Structure 1
Amino acid sequence: MMIKTRMWVLLIAAILTGCGGSGGDTPEPQNDDPDVLARNDIRDVDELAVYRTDSPYASLIKECALVETADEACTLEALPFIAQATPDFTKEDIMNRLLVTHDWMGERFETLLEDAPDSMIPLFGSLTSIVIGSTVRPSHYWAGTGGIQLDPATLWLSLEEKANVSIADDYRSEFDKDLQFWEFVSMRIGDAPAIQFFDLSDREERTLKDIEIPVYRLLYHELSHAVDYLPTESIATLDSSLVPARALDNNSQLFLSPRLNLDLPLYSQTLYDLGQVSFQGEIATEEQQGFTPTFVGSEMANDGAAEFYGYNTLREDFATLFTAGMMKREFNIDYYSAFVNKPVDESQYRCDELLVGWGVKNRLADTLVAARARWVAESIYGPNTLIDGFFANELGEAVPMTVGLDWCSNRDGVTTIAALKNSGAESLELNAATRRQLEGERRRHTH
């Protein structure tokens, strides 16, 4: 059966379940190592507070944002979508919908919002609320409330702030343990990484510049989910007497990702089934456990997903396409992606063990991907000359990676072993910074 048939089945569940959940029930790991930053003042979501106490929604936004089921949500008369309440809304209207567990989270969000690309601001109109809290993991959008929740792991700068962020594992971290390939993705500006990865447990701090790209990538991804459910053309026809999920469902014929799935579907049933293992926790079959990076890559090469994560659901297919397109358009960031073999020791490995079975630099420029990413951009912003010019002239070229060469050498355009020997290094073992970067590029999920 074609992938689009299977994906329609997921649509009904997605309306109420969104993209994920928070990890607040998981106890924080303990460690007596003085080099490991201890957690301090971790607050669960029940300790959220409205960031702007003078918000017109201050008295009810927490109650509306933290319901357990979609039918318990506030009606849109009580807490409307931002653009529903104020069609010409401002950044102040966005800040009025923010809940945080710590004031610094709100301050950081406000700073980044002030400098956000102009193309991002209209997307907030499809939200009712924004939550940032110590224990939110993973970040997610939920149609049940029409709101997003953001993991503050992308926001901290100081050690004091980092200590307020949970270090509990993402519940999806081991879903792919029985598969014999890893996916790596590196966001690049020219020859340099666009993101430097940091550890939540060590004592290293970072600057505002370090977090801008990760936060904007996250926001484009989560906001695209909101617009998927509530595109501009749907706002005026919402029934305000209903809770968000019911009002959105009444306009389901306007949902964007199902329309993408009809017009330009993904076709690989193999990758869809693997996506249910890697991202939904299904048990891998014996056949799937034998799939090689080269085989999986051959499926990817003949289909139009921006990332493997797009085979999770049709919603994530839509969001990953939009995110890749906007990061290229706004920041000139290329996505390098590859499938590599798993190393023998998954906790201690070297770059030269990660042999590429398939990979490409600038995946967005692939003809199949570009056509679908353009469809997504036009469905959100409408056809216009800026989108036309971007997709016609600014994508660059998709460049295949060298099969059999390791990920680091493909990514950096050098041979890792030769580079290390020329630098006088006595060992191929990874230093802490290089290992942290590799772990950040290893994609187990996108949120």
Structure 2
Amino acid sequence: MGWVRVLVVGVAIGWAAVMVNRKFEEPPLPTLDPNPWWGPGEPKEDNVAITQFKINVPEKDLKDLKDRLALPLRLTPALEGTNFTYGFNSDTLSRIVTYWTKKYDWRKREALLNKYPQYKTQIEGLDIHFLRATAGDTSGGARKKGVKVVPLLLVHGWPGSVVEFYSILPLLTTPREGSSVVFEVICPSIPGYGFSQGSSKPGLGSLQTAQIFLKLMKRLGFDQFYAQGGDWGSLIVTDLATLYPHNVLGVHMNMLGGNTPTGNLKMWLGSLLPSGLLVPESDQHHLYPLSSFYSRLMLESGYAHIQATKPDTIGAVLDQNPVALATYILEKFSTWTNRDNPNKPDGGLLSKTFPFTMDSLLDNICVYWFTGSITTSVRFYAENMNKDFYNKPMNKYGYILSRQITHSSSLSFSSFNSQ
């Protein structure tokens, strides 16, 4: 079969030569409606007021959650020795529900989540929620020491929320020894996530969200700012920087992806050529063997397919039962935190070394549950993973939702609240 490899490499090298000699043309930027209306009914004038918001779940909603959690579980015993390889292990789920029912205290967690000031403002017909973490000691000592306060937009993804930023906010807003910069942090909820209103009309994807967040930052008085995002947030801040380069001073992402012809060629050639020639030896295990890479892609991308094609179906199912919602979301935290977690009886979730406490994980689930936002959140997949999205010139050979399927540690949840 050696001649087959030689032939494949020869064809690939020829293709590479053609691609290298092609003139690169910067794709045109899409044209967005500058003033769309995503709210219900006909367009109206936005209420541009910024109003304070406090999380305060009605007692009847809390009782409803407790009543649903008290229902007997209908669990099928796991197959012997399968751990999380068939999905969520029923024994682990039972232990988590018991903790949720008997030990988790929403009112205490609610007080913690209200630690930072939160607000809402209407943009393009939607009530957009955000929290604002101000830079510590900016009125006195920090400025005297020459510390510069800069605005930072911090954007979450799915199945996350602004909850995931609570543990990192003190590090960003507190002047630190040896640093001349401290941040004023704005953490908005993506439309349809948590406390941000979901669109009443189809078509609100990452590009449209980028425009909404630009308007938010300008309304807060920040014409120029830095931006950071993970998961969907990575795509949103990429679009922000692409569409509005004069407003975005810098971008940081903790999820990256590319889908260029030359990039794919390099990946395929790297599987045939000696180790380290095209892909650094330190990165070989992320990609090769390709059979493992594509197998994991198939294994871990089913959720994205159903959310991109039938979001309302899966949303309706998850919105009926908090245990179902927790199962669906926590399984992602297990697998995406460490690729070896499916081989553990508890999926790593109950381990003392797991980077997120059960309380912080349940905080995030409760935000989805109390706001009834699981359906509107997964619709974001349908708006971004479709023919119209990939046919846009700026997306055709650019960003691809690769997620964490090739990595051994979590990217999108790396800063999740671990309190």
- Tell me if both proteins adopt one fold, taking TM over 0.5 as the criterion: no
Interval of TM-score (by shorter of Structure 1 and Structure 2): under 0.3
Greater gyration radius: 2
Calculate the TM-score normalised by the size of structure 1. Answer: 0.24
Q: TM-score, normalised by structure 2?
A: 0.25
